[in-house]
Structure 1
Amino acid sequence: MEMSQPYLYVHPVSGADREAAAELLGRGMADNPVHVMAYGGDDRSRAHRHAQLMRTLLRSSPSLRIEGVHRGEALAGIAAWAPPGHCRPPATTRLRLLGRALTYGPGTASRLLSWNRRWARHDPDEPHVHLGPVSVDRHLRGRGIGGLLLLRHVQRLDATGVEGYLETDRPEAVGFYERFGYVVVDEADVLGAPTWFMRRPVV
């Protein structure tokens, strides 16, 4: 008898689900090139540290919107975005993030600050929706979960007539985002890893 595949469904992430979202972002992004350079250590320690940082971000960023994909009962993917005018977290959130980063030691905190500043320099001046963080649990990559999240996201952009923007340090992600209308507008070396800055014009 053939086993049925778990059902995928998209839903807003709020409340207690944000804890699971932070853990997923930690696991899913631990092998990102900039994360490897910023956090150092092994895969498990990077996942733990990034999950702590994401927990701080998600708890203290009221303007951040988050959607998740459940695969059966388990959270399988996350896409967060900031609406126009809220591209960067407020000062109180940045202070909390800095406090968390400092618990990792001065070297790691310095690298995290450098990373954040390099990315912030490329933020567009025009009104835009800033996509990120986005992640799919690593053992579920390649199963259409990221595509489902992005399809929903760009449909929302088209419906509201707002430009999209994102950063990625994963080379394979560039082509993925291009399939949803994003184009590379700049590149930079961040902590020794290439980063691509991408915009999606208003359709």
Structure 2
Amino acid sequence: MDKGGHDGSVPRGGTGIEVRELRRAELPAAVEVIARGMRDNPIHLAAYGTDPEQRLHCHARLIRALLTAKPEMQLLGATRDGRLVAVAGVSPAETCQPTPRQLLRMLPQLTLLGPRAALRVRAWTNTWAAYDPTESHVHLGPVAVDAHLQGSGIGTVLLKEHCRRLDETQQASYLETDKPANVRFYDRFGFRTIGQAQVLGVPNWFMRRAPQGRHP
């Protein structure tokens, strides 16, 4: 994650959205946006239960543990009027899966999810890890637009910038999703489904994007 200032920011004309790498100090705000934006995802219902507040709390704890344990993960943020409204986690090539040391760092926070949720999260993440491609790739995720702003085009602005960076460096990208609407969304940016699996009884899709022509 970028620890500097606002270098690399990309304002998008006409949208009022600025896309840039987030500073380490912005991690708490990023955790909140991700937790709210992903609270009702099917896999989170299966992992954390039916109580919305419990899901919000549990997923915030999981994401906080992940981002703290994996400082190499970059956070691409979209802001509007100075307020963070969307976040994309971007793991550089060869860093997408947590190392044993990083998993150990995450363990205390996972334990606090409770035995049932912790076991389900472990089963879920193990399945995702088994589908991770062996080829060098940039791993995209988590990706979230704040709950009350979903459907307003912010995710499109964020993904355009992610894809621009991929094409600039000619790197493949990969992601997992548990929502059919997301499959259609990512397909617009060149991601193609390369696998499917049931995870905690929820359909999941695994998608890859090949490098495309360089953007001007």
Query: What TM-score does the superposition give when structure 1 sets the normalisation length?
Result: 0.94
* Structure 1 counterpart of 2:64, one-letter code: R
List gaps (5 residues or longer) in structure 2: 1-13
CA RMSD of aligned residues (A): 1.4
Partner of 1:125: 134
Give 1:105 deviation, angstroms: 1.6
Whole-Å separation in 2 of the counterparts to 1:178 and 1:47: 28
Q: Aligned pair 1:139/2:148, yes or no?
A: yes
Partner of 1:34: 43
Q: Aligned pair 1:21/2:38, yes or no?
A: no
Give 1:99 deviation, angstroms: 2.0
Whole-Å separation in 2 of the counterparts to 1:87 and 1:51: 19
**Count of matched residue positions in the alignment of Structure 1 and Structure 2:** 199
List gaps (5 residues or longer) in structure 1: none
Give 1:6 deviation, angstroms: 8.3
Partner of 2:7: none
Distance 1:188-1:102 versus aligned 2 partners, 3 A rule: same
Whole-Å separation in 2 of the counterparts to 1:160 and 1:177: 19
* Structure 1 counterpart of 2:34, one-letter code: L
Give 1:161 deviation, angstroms: 1.0
Whole-Å separation in 2 of the counterparts to 1:83 and 1:161: 13
Query: What TM-score does the superposition give when structure 2 sets the normalisation length?
Result: 0.88
Cα distance per residue 1:103-160 (max 9 Å; x no partner):
1221111100000000001100000000000000011011111111110111111111
Give 1:195 deviation, angstroms: 0.3
Preserved contact between residue 98 and residue 109 of structure 1 (Cα < 8 Å): no
Partner of 2:184: 175
Cα distance per residue 1:36-62 (max 9 Å; x no partner):
100114111111111111112112212
Q: Aligned pair 1:46/2:55, yes or no?
A: yes
